[in-house]
Amino acid sequence: MSIREKAKYWLKINHPAECAGQLRVSKYYAEKDIWFFTFPITYCESGKSGNLNILLQLEKEHDQFHYLKVPFQFFHANRNKLDVRESGDKFDLHISAKQLNWLVCERSQGVNFSKFLE
C-alpha cells in the first residue's frame, strides 16, 4: 500500500467529512527531520476557496499521520514568504518536524502551519 493510499484510509477513518477535499501527503524524511512538498502556484491564487488537507506521516508509525487543514487563502496571504521556484509555477515547503520549530516551513520566511493542526 502506497503512502497516499494509507493517508486516504487514515483520513476516511479519522476525518470522514474531509475525504472529498483536496489531499496532499508527505512521508517523513528522517535525514532532514522534515516533510517535503511541491505545490502548484495556483494554490496561491486570490480566488481559490476551500481548504487543502495535508497529511504528514509519523516517524515511527508509517500508517499514522498529523493532519493539517489549511485554507487556500493562507497560501495566498503568505505568497511573498513562500519559496517560489524561479520558473514561477511551483513552490516548495519543507515543514519542520523538529521540536524547536515544529510545523514551520524551513524554505520560507517563517511560515508556520501549527495553527492548522487538527
pLDDT at 21: 76
- Cell numbers representing residue 108 in the block: 520560507
Three state DSSP letters for the chain: CCHHHHHHHHHHHHCHHHCCCEEEEECEECCCCEEEEEEEHHHHCCCCCCEEEEEEECCCCCCCEEEEEEEHHHHHHCHHHCEECCCCCEEEEEEECCCCCCCEECCCCCCECHHHEC
pLDDT at 108: 92
Kindly report the backbone phi and psi dihedral angles of residue 9, in degrees, each rounded to the nearest multiple of 5, phi listed first: -65, -45
Residues 81, 85, 91, 97: is their CA dihedral positive or negative? negative
Find all residues with CB under 8 Å of 56, minimum gap 6, and list them: 26, 28, 35, 65, 66, 67, 68, 95, 97
pLDDT at 105: 97
pLDDT at 19: 81
pLDDT at 116: 98
pLDDT along the chain (118 residues), means of 10: 94 90 93 96 93 96 96 96 96 96 95 97
